[in-house]
Amino acid sequence: MTFSTALQKFTIGFIALLMAFAGFTAAVPQVDALEDFSSIESGDLIVGESFTAVYYYGADGFRYVFPNSKTYFTWYDDFDGVRSISDSDMGSIQIGGNVTYKPGIKMIKINSDPKTYAIDAGGVLRHVGSEDLAVDLYGDAWNTMIDDVADGFFTNYSIGDEIADSADYSAADAEEAADGISDDKGLVAPEDISITDDGYEPIDLTIDVGQGVRFTNDSSDKHNATSDDLSWGTGTLQPGEDYITSFYEAGTYTFFDGYDSTNTGAIYVE
């Protein structure tokens, strides 16, 4: 491979990653006034005032971007439910990742992989190994139900077991089971720890693996929460600001306040 070819492939991949971060632009109807952020709820579709990338506001308190219109329209028919918020409010919501295709609606493939995949819960891809099997699963028009996904977006998915036969996967059942994006991704609401003038409240709590903790600075001065081993932290939180940290492995996570080391706490992940 020549240097120019390698550079070209790197550039294409980098552009794809930028697209994944930015999301697609949508023809969202103009609004006369921005919505109060306090009225935004889990499951809402949101867009900022200056940019037209559409996000899903997850149950975990993060926002998830639709990487392209094809992904969006597997979940929604139009943009009627999209709510506009200020850029500052949008910026206060942490980015959780990309939305994946709704299970059962389409099959997908990428240019660098000849395999065609059905989509199961949680963005799990399952190889459809033959035309006969594709017909059994999606009907005679199966070849019209395949979308090409850019390599940069393919990492949003994980590879599951190959579909052995038509009894091993039902597109209709997969679609029906996907009640919403939060449900499909297994997103759950974070537990809350308030940082007050007197310290953390509560000073410890127990959560499930994969759940998050939202630290909110309810004091009159700046504070933070930093792990004892310095592996994670909220960064400086001004009064009124919050930050969510998610924990994906069981264990005990102790932390302290970098602005007042006498303030300590612990999170138990089970």
Rounded to an integer, what distance in angstroms lies between the CA atom of residue 245 and that of residue 235?
Answer: 11
* Cis status of the peptide bond prior to 202, with omega within 30 of 0: yes
Record the tokens describing residue 104, joined without a space: 């059962």
| 88-123 per-residue burial string, b: 16 or more CB within 10 A, e: under 16 | ebbeebbebebbbbbbbbbbbbbeeeeebbbbbeeb
CATH code (residue 244) = 2.60.40.420
Q: Answer whether residue 12 shows pLDDT above 60.
A: no
- One-letter-per-residue 3-state SS of 144-185: HCEEECCHHHHCCCEECCCCCCHHHCCHHHHHHHCCCHHHHH
Q: What pLDDT sits at residue 51?
A: 81
- Terminal Cα distance for the chain, rounded: 48
Q: For the segment 195-208, what is each residue's pLDDT rounded down to a tens digit?
A: 999 999 999 999 99
Whole-number Å distance between alpha carbons of 41 and 64? 14
User: Do 143 and 118 fall into the same domain?
Assistant: yes
Mean pLDDT of the chain, nearest integer: 90
Residue 52's pLDDT band, with cuts at 50, 70 and 90, is confident
Distance of CA 259 to the CA centre of its chain: 31
Do both 261 and 200 map to the same domain? yes
Rounded to whole angstroms, the Cα distance separating 270 from 205 reads 11
Task: Give yes or no for residue 25 having a pLDDT over 80.
Answer: no
164-180 pLDDT, tens per residue?
999 999 999 999 999 99
The pLDDT of 2-7, averaged and rounded, is 40
Q: Is 250 helix (H, G, I), strand (E, B) or coil?
A: coil
User: Span 117-135, mean pLDDT?
Assistant: 97
Residues 177 and 224 in one domain: no
Residue listed under structure tokens 């970098």? 258
pLDDT-derived band at 15 (thresholds 50, 70, 90) equals: very low
- Please tell me whether residues 223 and 145 are part of one structural domain: no
Which is nearest to 92 in space by CA: 60, 61, 51? Answer: 61
Average pLDDT of the residues in 38-64: 95
Query: Containing domain of residue 174, as a range?
Result: 107-185
Residues 88-99: what's their mean pLDDT?
Answer: 95
Last residue of a domain, one of 169, 185, 201: 185
Number of domains in the chain: 3
pLDDT of residue 26: 62
Quote the pLDDT of residue 112. 86
- Which of 137, 158, 185 is at the close of a domain? 185
- DSSP label at residue 38: G
94 lies in the same domain as 116: no
At 7 the pLDDT is: 40
